[in-house]
Amino acid sequence: MFRVRETVKAIRPYIPGKPSDELRRELGLEGEIVKLASNENPLGPPPRVMQAIRAHVGEVHLYPDDSCYYLTRALAEHHGVDPSMIIVDRGSAGVIELAAKLLLDPGDEVIYSEKSFLMYPLMAQSFGAVHKPIPLRPDYLIDLDAMLAAVTPRTKLIYLPNPNNPTGTYNDEASLARFIGALPDDVVLALDEAYVLFAEDMVDDYASGLKYLLGGRRNVFVLRTFSKSHAMAGLRVGYGIGDPELVGQMHKVRPPFNVVSLSQEAALAALEDTDFIAQTLEVNRTGMAKLHEGLRGLGFETVPSTANFVLFPVDTAERAAFLSDGLLKKGVIVRPMTAFGLPDHIRVTVGLDWQIDIFLEGLGAVLKTEKK
């Protein structure tokens, strides 16, 4: 009946984790629900963000600032770039879509890694592009050499998350520099840095793509978000930093009024709240260590992570489903990795100390039922 595009018919839509209230209704759960499935900041929104929202809630009858004028300039100052290099959208997912919308014609090629953020192939398919997934290395690292070898004259766009979700692994400064140096100038590298602050806090050999963009590599486009370290996942604010010509063209395909007023004001407030960021990073460092230690104490190997989550293999897909379902019944939500191509893995977000305790205790209890 409806003449839907053939490329759309083949798309498997992105399915996020369910909200806590929905699972409470479905499973009839009572009491505290510990959600450690979506890599959300366990501290809740920054106090300055809440103040900004309260101060501007009386303005929601007005259209938002279409250009995100003040936020764009604040971000430019924060990163030491010209405002013409900044574009703001609905989370980094919105910027991922803008890059595809601008660059891709049917038949063009998009390269990305398998076992990575599900938006990358979805965007390639949406615009009729040929998507070329590159297998993940056995050590869970994205294979930059294989990505480079896959580039052809038809390749227009590469999505590279650093650190990667859901593995938490990262490509270090030396390997990234070699990759960027060998990449053709007309291939745009969209470097998704949603977890950049966690990585910079935990390791010394991580480098943001900003280093290469500001060093003259005009084809590097850096993606950032306020969802993770700034605890604003529900307000949907992300941004891209790129060459002024690329960003200027991208504004042509950006929907008008794409970032609502309260989100813009919240992001301005969050950007100034350095104390909250410091607290977030401290909670993540201590929680990460506790998660690794606790999971290993229960007999699991864990993947080294520079994000705010831990991935761990559990032998089989059946066992992963058993454990995650068992935790659900105890009010603990984690993320099985079937949709990411890792059906025998589970990802758990770093929570507060008491949340990690509940998760580890619940997992231990589920393991005991497995052995009976």
Percent of the chain exceeding pLDDT 70 equals: 92
Q: Is residue 11 part of a domain?
A: no
Q: What's 357's domain CATH number?
A: 3.90.1150.10
- 326: pLDDT strictly greater than 90: yes
Pair (264, 327) in one structural domain: no
Lowest mean pLDDT among 54-63, 147-156, 354-363: 54-63
Q: Is residue 135 part of a domain?
A: yes
Pair (233, 255) in one structural domain: yes
Cα separation, 326 vs 257, whole angstroms? 43
Pair (58, 207) in one structural domain: yes
Are 302 and 167 a contacting pair, CB within 8 Å? no
Pair (355, 299) in one structural domain: yes
Pairing between strand 188-192 and 155-161?
Answer: parallel
Q: Is residue 3 part of a domain?
A: no
Q: Is the entire prediction scored with pTM above 0.85?
A: yes
Domain that holds residue 359: 17-44+275-371
Pair (246, 303) in one structural domain: no
Q: Is residue 8 part of a domain?
A: no
Cα separation, 137 vs 113, whole angstroms? 10
Last residue of a domain, one of 247, 272, 297: 272
- 20: pLDDT strictly greater than 70: no
Q: Is residue 7 part of a domain?
A: no
Pair (89, 220) in one structural domain: yes
Q: Is residue 346 part of a domain?
A: yes
pLDDT of residue 19: 64
Burial 253-274 (b: 16+ CB within 10 A, else e): ebeeebbbbbbbbbbbbbbebe
Last residue of a domain, one of 252, 272, 292: 272
Q: Is residue 287 part of a domain?
A: yes
Q: How many domains, the chain?
A: 2
State the average pLDDT for the chain. Answer: 93
Pair (24, 68) in one structural domain: no
Q: What's 254's domain CATH number?
A: 3.40.640.10
Pair (168, 289) in one structural domain: no
Proportion of the chain in helix, strand, coil states, percent, rounded to 5:
45, 15, 40
Pair (98, 160) in one structural domain: yes
Pair (38, 67) in one structural domain: no
pLDDT of residue 370: 83
- 372: pLDDT strictly greater than 60: no
Cα separation, 128 vs 131, whole angstroms? 9
